[in-house]
Amino acid sequence: MNNKNLYTIISAVTLVCGAGFAQDKNTDPNKLGTEVVNVVRAYDATISDAFKVRATANNDDESVGNKKPVIYTISSFPVASTFVPEKGKAAEVEKGSKLKSFNNYALFSAGNYTNINGELFLSHKLNQKSFLAGYASHFSSQGGIKDLILDDSFSNTKGGLVYGGQLDNFGWTVEAGGRYQLSNYYGLPTKHIDFDKSDVNGVSESQHYKNVFLNGGVEFRNSPFTGLDFRYDYFWDDFGTVENRFKIRPNVKTALEFGELNVGLVVDYVGTTYKNAFTGLKDKYNHLNIGAKPTLTFRDDNYSIEVGVSTFYNNGEVAGKTQNRFYVYPNVKASYDLVPGLLITYAGIEGGLEQNSFQQFSEENPFISPNVLITPTDKKYDLFVGLKGKLDNNISYNVKGSYKREKDKAMFLHNEYTVNPSRIPYMFGNSFGVVYGDVKTFNLFGELRFDFEENVSIGLHGEYNSYNTNTQEAWNLPSVKAGADFRFDFTEQWFAGMDIFYVGKRKDVFVIDSKGLIGDYNTWEDPTVVNVKDYVDLNMKVGYRPTKNWTVFVKANNMFNQKYNQWDNFRTQGIQVMGGAMYKFDF
């Protein structure tokens, strides 16, 4: 792999972790995601989608609402799989091949609602075997949603440095960076309570999430010890929350006479401390998950079979009580090539112990209150079967059905409205907690893609979910999600794109803390169930490359101008229009 491709690969990674952040400010976990995508080509510099600032001011990470979440594993050695960023939104890329020759870029765009996006990526070749890269991204909005009492502005800023390289038998990457996010608890339950400004006088509705991290890995050639990935996060907020998380994943692989043995290990620790809003005392949650995933893989020209078992040990502390448990999960997967190159059938059953954290919850829903229970999710099994392949050289598809059971699955649920003289800003029915339930999910997923030459791409995807849970409802989980995307390069200079997605109805609650009040009020025993309406969101962009270095573009988001709620009471911005330019260059 030459150094130029090495730089462009790192550019893709950092854009996903950093610049991609600017494109998805309102990350909605309800948005549809496609299957895992392995990035195996050099990064093509692109217009990052700050777009979807979709109205939810101050939402979690950056978000073009309709961008499809993907997991990136870069497969070229050595920077390849050694550097595995967390799930994020894919930044849109230009398809012009000449863009691949640039190792650096700067981008700026602005629009209504005083939405501003800026990105910078720089790389430098230290010598023939190593490089250094840096990136920074910022997305902010001054808000401006009508008829709100509280501030709906938001911002999200991230930056970092990446050092990596390769020798004859191994490669490495190390990334250090930080993130700073402003969010506001602006979603008052005005449908149920008649608020005016005096009711929230003196309330400081802002919340700032801060994070520093160290991330990286090594990958070895010609060794049973194939590699190791690690990540450390230190996370804190304005209300005394502090969280430490450390994860390390070594992997061993060896060839046997009858197959291949792979042993993946994981050590995942999260420690969360909240400052009690009333007593000032500390509430602590600690979980250490240690897991092993040995598998035997058998392959032939037409089939692949993976047989194994996953075992986990959890040492946890919840509300001062210690809990220790062992977990065992199935791990069996198989695929068969029914029609070579055209039709593959696959099936399997797998499970695992999935760690949860306050940082993770805040990224999914920035309006979460800093006092939620932290415990892992026990995914007992996920049984699936599917078909994938091509209808011809230009049309590919994937259809899958699955049934899974999760114990302690985390679901967001509105916190109650509290009559409280302390005026704690997230206790006015304007924040979310987390409720855990035993959830069984039947899922049908389908995806169809059309790729014509290099200048036209069309994608359709959708899924249906049926939930069975021991809680009253599958809170904030939609049954239907669907979407489509379209990309077209008219010429080498002109290009356009469109995305549309649909999120179905969800259920939430409204509850009043009625202590000391006289009258009939909603309680947690008999809450008012709220129907959160479904919505459709359409986004379009047009770009022009006047030279090989410059790209100018205009984007319009939420073109139907729907004032929908991604989360109950948290309305999104209407139509947003942003214009800007990107400059690609080499030193």
Question: Per residue in 109-150, pLDDT tens?
Answer: 999 999 999 999 999 999 989 999 999 999 999 999 999 999
Give alpha helix (H) positions in 452-506: none
Which sign does the torsion angle of CA 516, 520, 524, 529 carry? negative
Residue 35 has a CB neighbour count (10 Å cut-off) of: 14
Under DSSP, is residue 261 helix (H, G, I), strand (E, B) or coil? strand
Task: DSSP letter for 573, please.
Answer: P
Cα(556)–Cα(65) distance, integer angstroms: 12
Give alpha helix (H) positions in 357-471: 358-364
pLDDT at 290 > cutoff 80 = yes
Domain with 401, as residue range(s), is 3-585
Q: CATH no. for residue 173? A: 2.40.170.20
CB 541 within 8 A of CB 433: no
Return the pLDDT at 89. Answer: 32
Return the pLDDT at 142. Answer: 95
Cα(137)–Cα(574) distance, integer angstroms: 24
pLDDT per residue over 372-399, tens digit each? 999 999 999 999 999 999 988 889 999 9
- In this structure, are strands 512-513 and 417-418 parallel, antiparallel, or unpaired? parallel
Return the pLDDT at 514. Answer: 64
pLDDT at 34 > cutoff 90 = no
569: left (phi over 0), alpha (psi -120 to 50) or beta: left
Identify the CA nearest to 218 among candidates 99, 81, 17.
81
Give alpha helix (H) positions in 281-327: none
Return the pLDDT at 393. Answer: 81
For the chain, what percentages of helix, strand and coil (3-state, to nearest 5) are there?
Answer: 5, 55, 35
pLDDT per residue over 72-118, tens digit each? 222 222 222 223 223 223 234 354 434 457 889 999 999 999 999 99
Cα(188)–Cα(200) distance, integer angstroms: 10
Taking residues 309-315, report their average pLDDT. 96
The number of domains in the chain is 1
Taking residues 179-203, report their average pLDDT. 89
Identify the CA nearest to 430 among candidates 324, 301, 251, 567.
567
Cis peptide before 340 (omega within 30 of 0): no
The token pair at 330 is: 């199935």
Instruction: For the chain, report the end-to-end CA distance as a whole number of angstroms.
Output: 21
pLDDT at 24 > cutoff 70 = no
Return the pLDDT at 419. Answer: 76
Q: How many helices (H) and strands (E) are present in the chain, helices listed first?
A: 4, 30
* Size of the chain, expressed as the number of residues it contains: 587
The token pair at 93 is: 């890329």
Look up residue 336 and give its amino acid: Y
Q: Higher-confidence residue: 22 or 432?
A: 432
Beta-strand ranges (E) seen in 276-320 are 282-299, 303-318
CA distances from 223 to 155, 169, 227, 366 (A): 45, 9, 9, 43
Under DSSP, is residue 3 helix (H, G, I), strand (E, B) or coil? helix
Which sign does the torsion angle of CA 469, 474, 477, 479 carry? positive
Mean pLDDT, the chain, integer: 83
Under DSSP, is residue 32 helix (H, G, I), strand (E, B) or coil? coil
% of the chain residues with pLDDT over 70: 80
Candidate from 156-160, 333-337, 391-395, 400-404 with smallest mean pLDDT: 391-395
